[in-house]
Amino acid sequence: MSIQTSISQLTLPTLRKMKQERQPIVALTAYDYSFACLLDHSGVDIILVGDSLGMVIQGHQTTIPVSMEDMLYHTSIVSRGVERALLVMDMPFMSYLNTERALDNATDALQQAGAHMVKLEGGLDQIPIVEALSRHEIPVCAHIGLKPQSILKTGHYRVQGRSAQAAKKMIEEAAALEKAGADILLLECVPKMLAAEISANSEIPVIGIGAGNACDGQILVLHDLLGITPGKAPKFAKNFMQGNADIQTAIRTYVDDVRSRKFPAEEHSFN
């Protein structure tokens, strides 16, 4: 019996190889089929159905109201447009409250919605969850640094890891999550030197957003790239529609600029 795999679905070993060969990994969020096709054909390596959809699609103030049902719906419609990219689904607020719930919900992400990996926010507290998912062969992206699902406790979206103590804690978190079985780390709003250190000391790919250009890859929220997020754009975002005639060209420019480490530039990074 011969088993035929799909055309050239990007795998975790390929992403690790890209890290080893210092070829930047390009990631972007998507929430629907048409954009999924466009991103996939433009060479985006990782497509994330982010719970940012709560803000840019549903019009909520935070990501907290997003449900598992919302995530499964958007991931399943995105999955129909993805042939090459690795498809990651964000686990929404409270969907990984304990191991049993995390396993059930991550199983639905993979089986019902067609995701290849789940992403969850958290540091040392999430180690048992990451271990359980990994033990059951569910690929995990661990999101540290700024964690939008903590907004009701923190009250602000700010750069993380600026003090020596906070930086040390983040380095420990990154190492512990990798040891627990995380396959990718995502760093949000982290000083570029700290992000560079975490990337250099990890075997797994480290994808940054507002984390400088020394990470193994970059991600942006699609609506920030298109310059259509309502309100003030974050410092780390760049409107790629400026200087580009259409959406296709803007997305290809983002892909090229990440590959050549032109993006993020100094003005999109934190010290």
Contact 189, 236 (CB under 8 A): yes
Stretch in the footprint of ligand KIV (CB under 6 A) among 11-19, 47-55, 122-130, 194-202: 47-55
Tell me whether residue 50 or residue 217 sits nearer to ligand KIV (CB atom): 50
Q: In the range 149-188, which residues lie near ligand KIV by CB under 6 A? A: 186, 188
Distance in Å, CB of 148 to ligand KIV, minimum: 7
- Catalytic: 100? no
Q: Quick one: tokens of 116?
A: 């290849």
Assess 29 for contact with ligand KIV (CB under 6 A): yes
Cα–Cα distance list, 222 to 12, 48, 145, 218, 237 (Å): 23, 10, 20, 12, 10
Which residue of the set 21, 172, 188, 197 is catalytic? 188
Place of tokens 């497509």: 47
- Smallest distance, ligand KIV to C-beta of residue 56, A: 8
Q: Closest Cα to residue 169, out of 193, 194, 151, 186?
A: 194
Q: Return the range that interacts with ligand KIV (CB under 6 A); candidates 6-14, 43-51, 129-137, 196-204.
A: 43-51
Q: How far is CA 176 from CA 122, 170, 195, 199, in A?
A: 11, 10, 16, 14
Detail the DSSP E strand segments found in the chain. Answer: 25-29, 46-49, 86-90, 117-121, 140-145, 184-188, 206-209, 217-220
Indicate which single residue of 51, 108, 178, 216 sits in contact with ligand KIV (rule: CB under 6 A): 51
Token representation of residue 237? 């975002």
Residue 257 engages ligand KIV in binding (rule: CB under 6 A): no
Q: How far is CA 144 from CA 13, 31, 212, 235, 269, in A?
A: 22, 22, 15, 18, 17
Of 140, 206, 221, 258, the residue at the interface with ligand KIV (CB under 6 A) is: 221
Residue that has been written with the tokens 């890891």 in this structure: 161
- Please enumerate in sequence order all residues whose Cβ is within 8 A of that of 160, keeping only pairs 6 or more positions apart, or say none: 145, 146, 166, 170, 188, 189, 190
Which range touches ligand KIV (CB under 6 A), out of 45-53, 94-102, 133-141, 243-251?
Answer: 45-53
Q: Is 139 in the site for ligand KIV (CB under 6 A)?
A: no
Minimum CB distance to ligand KIV smaller for 48 or for 196 = 48
The Cα 187–Cα 182 span in angstroms is 13
Does 90 sit near ligand KIV (CB under 6 A)? Answer: yes
- 224 is a site residue for ligand KIV (CB under 6 A): no
Q: At its nearest, how many Å lie between ligand KIV and the CB of residue 104?
A: 21
Catalytic residue numbers?
A: 188
Site residues for ligand KIV per CB under 6 A: 29, 48, 50-52, 90, 143, 186, 188, 209, 219, 221
